[in-house]
Amino acid sequence: MTATTMHPGPRRSSALRHGWVVMLRDLRHWVREPWAPIFGIAFSIMLLLVFGYLFGGAIELPGGGDYLPYLLPGMFALSMMFGVESTMSAVAADTRRGITDRFRSLPMSSVAVPAGRAGADMVNSTVQLAVLVLGGLLVGWRVDGSPGAALLAIGLLLWLRFAMLWIGIFLGLTFRGEGSFAAVQVLVWPLGFLSNLFVAPETMPGWLAFLAQWNPVSATAAACRELFGNPTGITDGVLADHALLLALAWPAVLVGVFVPLAARAYRRLAR
């Protein structure tokens, strides 16, 4: 009797195909109920208007420059970081309602369902980022860098979002209680403010500036400011010298850690 060997190629093909089906299912759900993404975009625009026009006149940047061009890339990065909350909530809801168990009863790869969710969220994130960029242009923000550099900045923002999505998927599969979403919100907001998104780290006390400079979201915001040709608010430090490298490396580390953890959490749901 000859044993049949399953090669990695067919397995990868099946995982991609199954993930595509799950992604289409999630996108159809958003088409039927679009309020969650719409409110997410509206909330980001509200924050932009509050910080840009209410507090913007009182904030000075090291090295000079207007605050609004400094703020916009930070707001883009903050909106990408919100992927942790929305993705975790959706994954946890599917798990509580038994939808994830139905997928697990099918002969599907353990990565297919989380990857499908990530793919659908990336489509939503791209639309959300496009709306925010258009809103920024309407309120006076301008891109002074080259078109190629601007596209690279958009890619870095989506790269950060992709990493944040896998954190949200892992948390949604691991912590499914009603109170877990509020706990994640409590953690996400300090992470967003403990960064260079709203103010330059050089204006902070030394220990706080150190934490802000090594925040993954700060790296993306600093690199995007450079690529967009906007004021960076940085005259020295690690972000002044290696922002682009850190903006590539931090999400890669997060993806390398949380993709296997999410797949493992998905396999262990029934235990």
Domain extent, residue 213, equals 36-269
Q: What pTM was computed for the model?
A: 0.84
The pLDDT of residue 3: 40
Q: Using CA atoms, how far apart are residues 254 and 263, in angstroms rounded to an integer?
A: 14
In a domain, residue 81? The reply is yes
pLDDT of the residue at 158: 95
Task: Answer whether 168's CB lies under 8 Å from 255's CB.
Answer: no
Average pLDDT value for residue range 237-265:
90
Domain count, the chain: 1
Choice between 228 and 140, residue whose per-residue pLDDT is larger: 228
Task: Report CA-CA distances (Å) from 150 to 70, 153, 183.
Answer: 15, 5, 35
Per the model's pLDDT, the better-predicted residue between 228 and 81 turns out to be 228
198, part of any domain? yes
User: Measured over all CA atoms, what is the biggest interatomic distance in the chain, rounded to whole angstroms?
Assistant: 79
Residue 236 lies in a domain: yes
Whether the per-residue pLDDT at 68 is higher than 60: the answer is yes
Q: Are 238 and 246 in contact (CB under 8 A)?
A: yes
Q: Is residue 232 part of a domain?
A: yes
Q: If you search the block for the tokens 């954190």, which residue do you land on?
A: 167
Residue 203: inside a domain: yes
Q: Does a structural domain hold residue 143? A: yes
153-212: per-residue pLDDT in tens? Answer: 999 999 999 999 898 888 888 876 666 667 677 777 788 888 888 888 888 888 888 888
Identify the residue whose tokens are 């994130």: 125
Compute how many other C-beta atoms are within 10 angstroms of the C-beta atom of residue 196.
30
Q: Residue 10: inside a domain, yes or no?
A: no
Q: Do the domain assignments include residue 131?
A: yes
